[in-house]
Structure 1
């Protein structure tokens, strides 16, 4: 208890506290030595806690009625000029019962809230482990959340505390396991109180877990050796895409200690807003990050991680580097833009991983928001019906194959998402594609030019197919070509939306 809390209790006329129907109050037991014989005590006893109720308003209705009644009881004392101290374990406004009194009384009577030590701080102190350090993000979660939500939030954060365990413990434990955080998680029961217990969460029997317990996933940085920093290395290609890449300094990544893991992570088209929780968690947990420099720059720097940056034309070399690191027992994240399985790094990693000596290295692919979906969302819903995704780059396949696929997709009246339409060295493909598509599409077919979606230079424009100018297209642009049914409509607010109806005319 704080000194201020003791002072307030000493001069209060009335001491109020919440409890379940058994009548025992943890808050009262904490403050017991400071209570006087002449204190008026108001035990605010919940009509229900976790059980069902036949109240006509259901569980919420029963609690609302109780809070109104409890507030009215305290108001009688306040109106009589008595000072009321509502005592609450932890901090009154942090998942505390007092907050329901506060909302009903604070606007009517002079009120002072005395902050307290939360169970979060008490648990970290008892564990002797920092909750968060440097730029780490701490997430506090109620165990009553659905398992999927808990899993996603645990995967995406740096450090976490899950409260309100008890009957929620099995769900919380599964969420810890599914999010890959179980090995890091600690269990703290009744921190700073009689019956305190601290153990690894994985070792806890669910039948022994009370409500007043928390799970703590502490700082990762705190467990790093003092000399560990953030290393950036440069991967350099020494071959021509046959898996002979090297990385300066990789011999220092550690001696073989059994297979590690490679996770291929999609960052979305740009920035952290496009990251899935699972991908965010994988990037945070990785010991090594491997990827094209531009994509690595999107990932926040973390102490202890090593970065292996390279040019965007050495995919096989990057894959081999990642798998070599995993053979040394490292947890490696291969960073890819967009979705790693769509014209990106997943194929390169799996191709090498299916060769000796990498076939026993675990490899996972995590999906990301691909550029086609991001661009379509910005424009409206141009991919609302069947569509095809085609790369116009002829670096890895001949133009004749691209042209044949364009003919087939356009002839089938599919909307098209065209990746890699042009670059400094490829300036004619967009013009040839326009000519080919005009054989199957009307000149006024909507074409969306989506550039740098999610980035600082984002632009989305819609033109007619006949007016598509190749000079306005570069490698940061994605093209979406509508089908014969695609509509471009100017709405009353001045915005234009492009959409393809899901219903197709009967033949």
Structure 2
């Protein structure tokens, strides 16, 4: 308890506290030595906790009615001129019962909230380990969340605390296991109180877990990490631009890796973590990069190969799997995690031009001859598919966009909408819509993706001179 909390209790006429129907209150037991015989005690006893109720409003109706009645009881004391101290375990406004009184009374009566030591802070102190350090992100989660949500959030954060265990423990434990974080997790029960217990989360019997317990993933910095039993490679994509486009699974894989391998531009999108090794290289050495990553994995490293966009769309997944097919890498585990590809990001910014069938093609002739590209452009255009054109141009490739425009005009009307999406998600993002006949190759560079509409693709300028929206209807007209 803080010094101010003790002072407030001493000055109060009424001491109020919440409890279950058994009448015991942890908050009261903590403050017991500071209570006087002349204190008026108001035990705010919940009519229901987790069991069912026959209240016409169901569980929520019963709880809301209780809060209204409890607030009215406290208001009666306040109206009579008495000072009321409401005891709250931990901090009053952190997952506590007091906040429901606060919402109902603080706008009518002078109120002071005394901050307290949360169970999160107490658990970290008992474990003797930092919760979060430097740029790490600490996530606090209620164990009552669905298992999928818990798994995603545990996978995507640096450090975490899961509260409200008890009957949720089996779900929480599975979420830790599915996210790959179970070996790092600790269990803390009744921190700083009688009956305190700490243990590795993996060793805890579910039947022994009370509600007042926590699962803790402490800081990775300076804490011994679980030993790497065997190496492996995970291929991830950063999305078109960086953090906003990362999935929780990808965030977790990047954080768990001992080594990051990738094109330097893409590695720069990944936060630097102490102790994690980064191996940057040029964009034109994909095969060598893949073999380097696999060699690291053979030596027991956890390797994340970093791509832009989705690693399986014109990116590093193919190179890694091709190299992994060689006999010497046959036993190296390889996973590919999905990411946001440039076509989907660009389409979302423009509206919904990929709302019907579409084809994705790369205009780069570095790895395949232009004759193949031209043949595929003819085939896709004649099939009336929307086209997402990757790698349309660069400083060393300036003529492909013009040639592609000529080929497409053999099958598409001159006013077919074309989306020019540049640096999507980045600081220089721009999205423009032009007619196919007006497509200027000089306006296209290596950071641009083109989406060429089909005969059904529509554009509209919404509002009074608003931005142009592009979409392709899902229903194709009958012949």
TM-score range, shorter chain: over 0.9
- Normalising by structure 1, what TM-score? 0.93
DSSP 3-state at the match of 2:329? coil
Q: CA deviation at 1:356?
A: 2.1
1:438 aligns with 2:448: no
1:505 aligns with 2:477: yes
1:147-296 pair list within 5 angstroms:
147-223=147-223, 259-296=230-267
- Cα distance in 2 for residues equivalent to 1:84 and 1:429: 77
Q: CA deviation at 1:9?
A: 1.0
DSSP 3-state at the match of 1:192? coil
Q: CA deviation at 1:148?
A: 1.1
1:26-105 pair list within 5 angstroms:
26-105=26-105
Q: CA deviation at 1:488?
A: 1.1
Q: Which residue of 2 aligns with 1:247?
A: none
Q: Deviations over 1:440-471 (max 9, x none)?
A: 10110000110100011111111111111111
DSSP 3-state at the match of 2:327? coil
Q: CA deviation at 1:257?
A: 7.5
- Cα distance in 2 for residues equivalent to 1:62 and 1:495: 49
- Cα distance in 2 for residues equivalent to 1:103 and 1:474: 56
Q: Which residue of 1 aligns with 2:368?
A: 397
Contact between 1:450 and 1:477, CA under 8 Å: does it hold in 2? Answer: yes
Gaps of 5+ in 2: none
DSSP 3-state at the match of 1:222? coil
- Normalising by structure 2, what TM-score? 0.98
- Cα distance in 2 for residues equivalent to 1:11 and 1:184: 45
Deviates more, 1:1-10 or 1:195-204: 1-10
- 4+ runs of 1 displaced by more than 6 Å? none
Q: CA deviation at 1:224?
A: 5.7
Match of 1:455 among 422, 426, 435: 426
- Cα distance in 2 for residues equivalent to 1:223 and 1:353: 32
Contact between 2:392 and 2:400, CA under 8 Å: does it hold in 1? Answer: yes
1:114 aligns with 2:85: no
- Cα distance in 2 for residues equivalent to 1:36 and 1:224: 48
Q: Which residue of 2 aligns with 1:335?
A: 306
Contact between 1:163 and 1:215, CA under 8 Å: does it hold in 2? Answer: yes
Match of 2:467 among 495, 500, 507: 495
- Cα distance in 2 for residues equivalent to 1:452 and 1:476: 6
Contact between 2:18 and 2:43, CA under 8 Å: does it hold in 1? Answer: yes
Q: Deviations over 1:240-291 (max 9, x none)?
A: xxxxxxxxxxxxxxxx986311111110000211111111111111111100
Q: Which residue of 1 aligns with 2:441?
A: 470
DSSP 3-state at the match of 1:436? helix
Match of 2:349 among 374, 378, 383: 378
Q: Which residue of 1 aligns with 2:287?
A: 316
DSSP 3-state at the match of 1:339? coil
- Cα distance in 2 for residues equivalent to 1:297 and 1:270: 11
1:344-355 pair list within 5 angstroms:
344-355=315-326
DSSP 3-state at the match of 2:460? strand
- Cα distance in 1 for residues equivalent to 2:51 and 2:224: 45
Contact between 1:289 and 1:306, CA under 8 Å: does it hold in 2? Answer: yes
- Cα distance in 2 for residues equivalent to 1:210 and 1:45: 19
DSSP 3-state at the match of 1:44? strand
Q: How many residues align?
A: 477
DSSP 3-state at the match of 2:68? helix
- Cα distance in 2 for residues equivalent to 1:159 and 1:375: 33
1:427 aligns with 2:398: yes
